[in-house]
Structure 1
Amino acid sequence: MSSTGSSESRIALVDDDAAVRDALRWLFASRGHAVTPFDSAQALLSDRDPSRFACLILDLRMPGMGGMALLQTLQAQGYTPPTVFLTGHGDVPQAVAALKLGAVDFLEKPFDDNALVSLVEHCLQLDVAQRATYQQRGLVRQRLSELTPREHEVMVLFLDGKLNKQIADELAISMKTVEVHRARVLDKMGVKSAVELANLLKTYG
């Protein structure tokens, strides 16, 4: 079960310890940040849209689904906000494994309040860039999916540096047809040249 939280809350806290939830909600409120607390991994997963948060603070060890499994589940569902883990000393190897999954960092309990706030504020800034990249990548993939099989074939060949005549010979079509497909590919992908398309796919493909 989650509290209603602030409609402007950008931070989600998942911890089964009510005292920790209350303490952190107070801490972040004192620094001008609203926190929406959840008492379990399932409570966050049941939220209308977990990706709406700009930072997740997850307890690594909780009854039922722990923080690591929660992170993996969220990643499988789509965009995952920058994540910070709270962990006990014995959980450090797991926390390190969480970093390999993409978590930003972890803090051992008891942690320094200032260190946690600074880390979360870093995550809030990081979310802006990560979210923009994720959305752009999704747009590129959508545009790629709208190419016809033939347009995709032509695209692969001209990105490989082949001339229109070479593409025409390889696909057994006319040069005019190659030109039409090439123009359609560039138009659908929202670029003006093969170089621009190559850079787009390298960055977001």
Structure 2
Amino acid sequence: DGAVPLIMLFAARTGNHLQAVRPVQLDASGQLHEVTDTTRAPGSKAIPGAELKLQAADGTEKTIYYFSADLSDWKLTTKSAPLAYVRTLGPLTTYVKSATYLMHKSYFSKVRNLVLERSNYLLQDDSGIAMKYFPKNNWQFTYYGTYRRPINLFAKQYQPELTTAYHDSLHRARPLPFGTGYNWRQTDSNLLLAKRRTPLSK
């Protein structure tokens, strides 16, 4: 897959040693399997992916799984393996970046709800989950950087609630010393750290 070489590149650039890469897949029930034949049968409900084994500079062993899947509600109705697999992982720390504002939309509700149900921490730019979907009593928010209106392509996804939050003089946004997301310049970028007030234990 085109994403795997990029994962390998950034793993190496962050001081990790790549030990092994192998193809894997999720079956229809969300169970993880090694793949010996990467030929995909028409109509298969399996989700293709890759497993990367890494070793950090301090010797810590790490495993990365990458899966290629359509996470729209329509597709997850017939191929729900990604949801089933993620539910086996326990409480999550989730990162969302440059997500084309898909989880703002009604037809990406399944993955959005899963993230909100299973995450203890969520770090995202404004293209992730819209603020209106967070049950405010359940989450504590820390804002970083500067919130600008989305780029023209996504202008309709502007969130007045974020503008208000970033102009709160009592709870000022913290500095963000790098650029990220669609507004990639350091002076225009934002990140939101959402922390669940009562952490999930399992």
1 or 2, which has the higher helix percentage?
1
The structure having more radius of gyration, on CA atoms, is 1
1 or 2, which has the higher strand percentage?
2
**Larger RCO of the pair (alpha carbons < 8 Å, separation 6+):** 2
